[in-house]
């Protein structure tokens, strides 16, 4: 059965480029991103891992731990990391899981038989401090992931985890947000002292609360 939003992210132990980990213990109370790659030494993945490394400060300031997974062995991972660093002029500073037995890939339903019976698809899971899955994304092998979009979604998830708001289409950090329907009009002044604009009775906007 595929994982759904709100499910507890499966725990596992694995060997990584930074040594053995116990996933839930490694994650601790942080947010996390686990993302899969069909195989080592693949062109699109080389750019993706490099871009993630280049954005390490962005993930860090959001308190997000990053971990990647590929079904190739650990010695091959270490060799691939050298290429990633060279091609992208960066330093990979997050662990890469060696999932030779496809245990993690199976737990996270990263193998789609219609796409490939052996290799993982490009899956992304964002996991909250409560270990629950907050976001799932799946890309085809030919399409590189947009990590600015992933960061944008993390900003939205972290904002809406704290405040009674949602984010509208194409929202960016610092823009107005939407008051959730669970908040009654009588509560608006107390919860949103910056003010609320009624676009429609069911569509109420307010400045981003933490800005």
Q: Tell me the catalytic residues.
A: 45
Q: Return the number of other C-beta atoms located less than 10 Å from residue 24's C-beta.
A: 16
The two counts, helices (H) then strands (E), for the chain are 7, 11
Whole-angstrom distance, CA of residue 78 vs CA of residue 85: 11
Taking CB atoms within 8 Å and a gap of at least 24, the contacts of 74-82 are 74/15, 74/16, 74/17, 74/98, 76/40, 76/41, 77/17, 77/40, 78/17, 79/40, 80/40, 80/41, 80/46, 81/17, 81/49
Strand (E) positions, the chain? 13-14, 21-22, 31-37, 64-70, 96-98, 122-127, 133-139, 165-166, 177-179, 197-200, 203-206
């Amino acid at each position: 059965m595929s994982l759904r939003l709100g499910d507890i992210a499966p725990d596992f132990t694995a060997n990584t480029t930074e040594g053995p980990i116990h996933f839930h213990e490694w994650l601790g109370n942080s947010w996390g991103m686990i993302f899969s790659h069909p195989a080592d030494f693949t062109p699109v993945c080389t750019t993706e891992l490099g871009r993630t490394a280049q954005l390490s400060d962005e993930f860090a300031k959001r308190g997000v731990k990053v971990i990647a997974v590929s079904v190739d062995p650990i010695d091959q991972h270490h060799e691939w990391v050298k290429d990633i660093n060279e091609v992208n002029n960066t330093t990979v500073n997050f662990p890469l899981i060696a999932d030779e037995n496809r245990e993690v890939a199976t737990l996270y339903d990263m193998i789609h038989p219609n796409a490939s019976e052996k290799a993982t698809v490009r899956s992304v899971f964002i996991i909250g401090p409560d270990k629950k899955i907050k976001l799932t994304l799946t890309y085809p092998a030919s399409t590189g992931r947009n990590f600015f979009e992933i960061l944008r979604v993390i900003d939205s998830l972290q904002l809406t985890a704290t405040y009674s708001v949602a984010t509208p289409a194409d929202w960016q950090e610092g823009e107005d947000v939407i008051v959730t329907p669970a908040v009654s009009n009588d509560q608006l002044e107390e919860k949103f002292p910056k003010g609320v604009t009624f676009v429609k009775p069911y569509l109420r906007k307010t400045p981003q609360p933490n800005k």
